[in-house]
Every structure is written in structure tokens, then in C-alpha cells.
Amino acid sequence: MNKGRVYIISGPSGSGKDTVLKEIFKVMPEIKFSISSITRDMRSGEVEGEKYNFITRERFEQMLADDELLEHNLFLGNYYGTPKAPVINCVENGQDIFIEVDVNGAAQIRQKMPDAVSVFIMPPSLEVLKARLCGRGTDSDEIIEKRLNEALREISRAPEYDYVVVNDNLQTAINNIVSIMSVDKFKTDRNLNLINQVLSK
């Protein structure tokens, strides 16, 4: 059986990444999404095992000590990380899996999984990015400015990714990610079985 592919997906606030991923999951419900392990308290509306596994700090530090994470970070005193085992299981079973992660997490995963394909979702222009960040209408100028600077900091690391998908039109962005995944099936590392079959005369 051919292995599945790990897709690292990042995109700043204002890229529309969350909507893109939700729509992709509708088109391809067979895609797995990695579930992060985190140590912060559960917020209202969150469900254990849906987007996060809520674990203790002790358990997280044990996972760190045992090298059981593909990436992790510490944010406002809480740990966030991607457990390695479920991702590897998926790939070994021939399933593709998406890991939604920030630019630092993406860099850590790339180190450990050089075969992962990384996609950065971009706003089409600075103007659109600004408009999207202001769009909620409820935030102060200071908070918007902070969010814009954070988005620009992430975009400055887009060149580390394999692909850049511009989210101007939602449907086009979705189609483009689906195309990236279709073409990935022609990559040589996913066709070694065929090559070996032809050679085994």
C-alpha cells in the first residue's frame, strides 16, 4: 500500500484558513485532521477530542521527554503540541492527514518529516488583509494593529512553504488545494510500488 501524505497547513488571521479547511473537509470527509494536545482549560463550546485533547501539564511534559510530539510551543503558560503517533498511523495506513499549525510549528514538523507537503494560505493583498481584520468591527485599533503585525510576521515566513494558495475567492482556494492533493499522487515517493512491479520481471 502507498503511504498517505502529511499536509502542513498554515495561514495568518485574515487568510480565511478556517473557512477553507471546513469546506475542504466537506468535499473530502475522508481527510484526517490532526488533534492537538493542550494543557489550557477547556473553554465553553469546546469538546474533548474534537479539535484538542485536553491533558495535564505533567502528561505533556512526559510526552516531551519521550519525544512523542512533532511540534510544540508554550503560549501564555500553556503547552500546545501535535502528537506524533496518530499522524504516523494515518500515513502508514495510506491516509492523508492535515496538521493546522503556525509558522513555528510548521518549521518543527518539516524538520522531523521532510516528506510533509506544506501549504500557506494567503490573503490576496494587504488591503484585503486589513479589511478582513477590521471586518469584525468590535476590536480597538490597537488590537487590529497587533493582529495585522502578527499576520505580516507569519506571511514573511511563507517562503518556507512548498505551496502558497491565495484565498481571494473561497471556491478557487479550495479547488487549488484539492488540485495540489491530486497531483501529489503522481509524486515519485507514492509510486515506488508501481516502479518495483514493472521492474520485477
Among 66, 63, 61, 69, CA closest to 88 = 69
- Taking CB under 8 A as the binding criterion, the range among 16-24, 66-74, 79-87, 158-166 that sits at the site for a copy of itself is 158-166
134 grid coordinates: 477590521
Determine if 28 is a binding residue for a copy of itself (CB under 8 A). no
C-beta closer to a copy of itself: residue 143 or 192: 192
The grid coordinates listed for 156 are 514573511
Which of residues 62, 73, 125, 172 is near a copy of itself by CB under 8 A?
125
C-alpha–C-alpha distance, residues 78 and 60, integer Å: 10
> Does residue 27 belong to the site contacting a copy of itself (CB under 8 A)?
no
Choice from 45, 49, 77, 159 touching a copy of itself (CB under 8 A): 159
Beta bridge partners of 38: 54, 80
- In angstroms, the CA 83 to CA 64 distance is 10
Please pick, from the candidates 47, 65, 76, 199, the single residue that binds a copy of itself as defined by CB under 8 A.
Answer: 199
Spell out the residues 6+ positions from residue 57 whose beta carbon is closer than 8 angstroms to its own.
39, 79
Q: Does 101 bind a copy of itself (CB under 8 A)?
A: no
Q: Taking CB under 8 A as the rule, does residue 183 contact a copy of itself?
A: yes
Choose which of 7, 52, 80, 161 interacts with a copy of itself (CB under 8 A). 161
